[in-house]
Structure 1
Amino acid sequence: MPSEFELIRRHFVRPTPQAILGPGDDCALIASSPGMQLAITTDMLIAGTHFLPNTDPHQLGWKTLAVNLSDLAAMGARPRWALLAGSLPAANEPWIAAFADGLFACASHYGVDVIGGDTTRGPLTFCLTAIGEVPVGTALRRDQALLDDDLWVSGQPGLAALGLAHLQGRTELAEVLVKPCLAALQRPLARVELGLELRQRGLAHAAIDVSDGLLADLGHVLERSAVAAELFVAQLPPLPAAADPVLARRCQLAGGDDYELVFSAAPARRAEIAELAVRLALPLWCCGRVIRATPGQLTLVDDDGQAVPIKDKGYDHFG
């Protein structure tokens, strides 16, 4: 049976052209570019909590990195480096090889060097730290939403939660929905290019990625910015036609695991944002507005202009 260090050497040591020194020593060595700040984020994925134990290892490798890159995207940072720590119940080398291939496929797609990490025996768990760069003082933050800002969301939140419901037997998706919903769940796309464009062009004031649910994550922006908001049901992305509409709406608002971006922007920038959506081939939906009310208050408004009771905002590990 290969040792810990042999497993690392075989599957996780690859060229790191953006680092001064990569895996193999006590520390990696990196140097940030002149005029840049480092944006650093970390996420933990635990079998049975963040992914099903029988998840395809290649897809899991991709997702382990992608969910961290989504945090960098939300701040308008360019991904550069990543470190991976993981515990494995056994040294199942074919499984590890597939996981590593998925991880490095994602790293290659987004231009990231995996520069180090650690492994140990234990319950199947991964903790990845991603590091990006952003010009000094320009990072998109949660605490910068302004009164009268529009609220936008990218893509189609809710597909990942529908995919999970399908796998767990809580719904049976129409055949046409199975592939896109499972792809959203198992191979999410971090909206890095969108985040970079929003920052570079000064389009967004505040931003966050949707990991715990659209309502929950938007609520974090409102709390940190000390503002309130209205979210208009009629202006949200259309629900998949072949899905149960009640479940689809719940997944859209509170499902999480989407890794789309929610951001606020001045109404005067609507045309530029619409043009950006076309250029990126990524739908961007203007679905709400920032208002003056109790800080953190979020009101869901139906087609008739009436407030809709909010029963579930999203996922909370300790809720």
Structure 2
Amino acid sequence: MACWIVRQKPCECWSSVAQGEFELIRRYFGTPELNFAHDDVLLGPGDDAAIVSLPVGFQMVMSIDTLNESIHFPTQADPFLLAQRCLLVNLSDLAAMGAQPVAFTLAISLPAPDAHWLAAFSHGLAVVAQAHHCPLIGGDTTRGPLSITIQVHGKVPAGQALLRSGAAVGDAIYVTGDLGDAAAALWWILGDARLNDAALDASARQVLQQAFYQPDARIDAGIALRGLASAALDISDGLASDLQHVLDTSAFKRFGSTQGLGALIKSEDIPLSDTFQRCVPLREQLALALSGGDDYELCVCVPPAQEAAARSAMQALGLRFTRIGHIDDGVGIRLQTSLGEQHPLSLKGYNHFSESL
């Protein structure tokens, strides 16, 4: 990927911006707030490609996500908040691998260049980039429906990356933070009648907005869990669906088949925020928290011998870290009620090809 390619098209809507396309890029994406120095970045924007050099003994970790308007975020979303969401959900993948951010690239398709929109979007990116010391080192722009693709680059000591494939029978299952707030936020954004409007005061709206647009990328948690967790991933499509990925990949690594590992989850141990419990009807809470998605919290498997150390590490970060169940040799994921009854858990999660906002 060249460091800022501009797809030049003889289109009036693009040429109408006085500063021109290259000036547009320089003004909004070539700023010191985004292109700041990083020890591992030898060359940033301005040449045909960026150059990154990792310290001896480190491995590169890369992840890429595309977010499309009306599929991954609502139309007319606030560009300042949208930019933060786009970068944070990518950084969450690095967190799940126990990686430290190094840099990111951006490819953006815009229906038309809007100076106010771009200024707000650029500012939102800069807020997150600086918070995680992850500079923008290149990208691509083109005209089309609003679509944002970000690739993040991180580093991890060789052999220490957290993977999905290490879970074993007896491991405890933990999650960071609270589940369901982002899914409840989407109900609010879409005007879902099931949400309790009476509970949506300014404080509740702030909690929900932050959960959807400004999720915490648990970078520090992922790094602290190196050597302690047997498996990890970030919760994007919903706990039920994502935990099954851990079971499948771990079973395949151990047994050569996706069969052989199951999980028992206790319903009463699922961490829910006060805002979620006030705004979402009781009968809907468990299903939404388990399958709503967009949490971007970490789901972590921890061997019994490492549980105390893992809890201590998360306590040192001031992070809620909740044991919700354990890995066993059962079939699939079962949910245990407060009465001790067990029921198979539906694996319904977010489907990119069936949902629209």
Normalising by the smaller structure, the TM-score range is over 0.9
Q: Which residue of 1 aligns with 2:342?
A: 307
Equivalent position to 2:248, from 189, 200, 223: 223
Equivalent position to 1:158, from 153, 158, 180: 180
Q: Which amino acid aligns with 1:315?
A: Y
2:215–2:296 CA contact under 8 A, matched in 1: yes
Cα distance between partner residues in 1 of 2:237 and 2:72? 11
Q: Which amino acid aligns with 1:58?
A: F
Q: Which residue of 2 aligns with 1:42?
A: 64
Cα distance between partner residues in 1 of 2:123 and 2:307? 40
Aligned-residue CA RMSD in angstroms? 1.4
Q: Which amino acid aligns with 2:270?
A: L
How many aligned residue pairs are there?
Answer: 315
Q: Which residue of 1 aligns with 2:131?
A: 109
The structure that has the greater radius of gyration is 2
1:4–1:119 CA contact under 8 A, matched in 2: no
Q: Which amino acid aligns with 2:278?
A: A
Inter-CA distance 252–187: structure 2 relative to 1 (3 Å threshold): same
Pairing 1:10–2:10 present:
no
Deviation at 1:3, TM superposition (A): 2.5
Q: Please give the TM-score of this superposition, normalised by the length of structure 2.
A: 0.85
Cα distance between partner residues in 2 of 1:207 and 1:269? 14
Q: Which residue of 2 aligns with 1:232?
A: 266
Equivalent position to 2:74, from 33, 39, 52: 52
What is the correspondence of 1:23-38 to structure 2 with a 5 Å cutoff?
Answer: 23-38=45-60
Instruction: Name the SS of the counterpart of 1:193 in structure 2.
Output: helix
Deviation at 1:312, TM superposition (A): 5.2
Cα distance between partner residues in 2 of 1:308 and 1:292? 16
Q: Which amino acid aligns with 1:223?
A: D
Give % identity: 40
Cα distance between partner residues in 2 of 1:312 and 1:133? 32
Following TM superposition, the consecutive aligned residue runs of length 4 or more in structure 1 with deviations greater than 4 angstroms are none
1:4–1:120 CA contact under 8 A, matched in 2: no
Q: Please give the TM-score of this superposition, normalised by the length of structure 1.
A: 0.95
Pairing 1:181–2:181 present:
no
Q: Which residue of 1 aligns with 2:229?
A: 204
Q: Which amino acid aligns with 2:21?
A: E
Deviation at 1:317, TM superposition (A): 1.5
Q: Which residue of 2 aligns with 1:214?
A: 239
2:181–2:273 CA contact under 8 A, matched in 1: no
1:79–1:133 CA contact under 8 A, matched in 2: yes
Unaligned runs of 5+ in 1: none
Equivalent position to 2:278, from 217, 223, 242: 242
Deviation at 1:301, TM superposition (A): 1.3
Cα distance between partner residues in 2 of 1:117 and 1:207? 30
Pairing 1:279–2:304 present:
no
**What does the per-residue CA deviation read over 1:186-227, in whole Å, with 9 as the maximum and x for residues that have no partner?**
11110000000001xx21010000011011111100100012
Cα distance between partner residues in 2 of 1:274 and 1:37? 27
What is the correspondence of 1:70-85 to structure 2 with a 5 Å cutoff?
Answer: 70-85=92-107
**What does the per-residue CA deviation read over 1:15-58, in whole Å, with 9 as the maximum and x for residues that have no partner?**
34122111111111111111110000000010000101121111
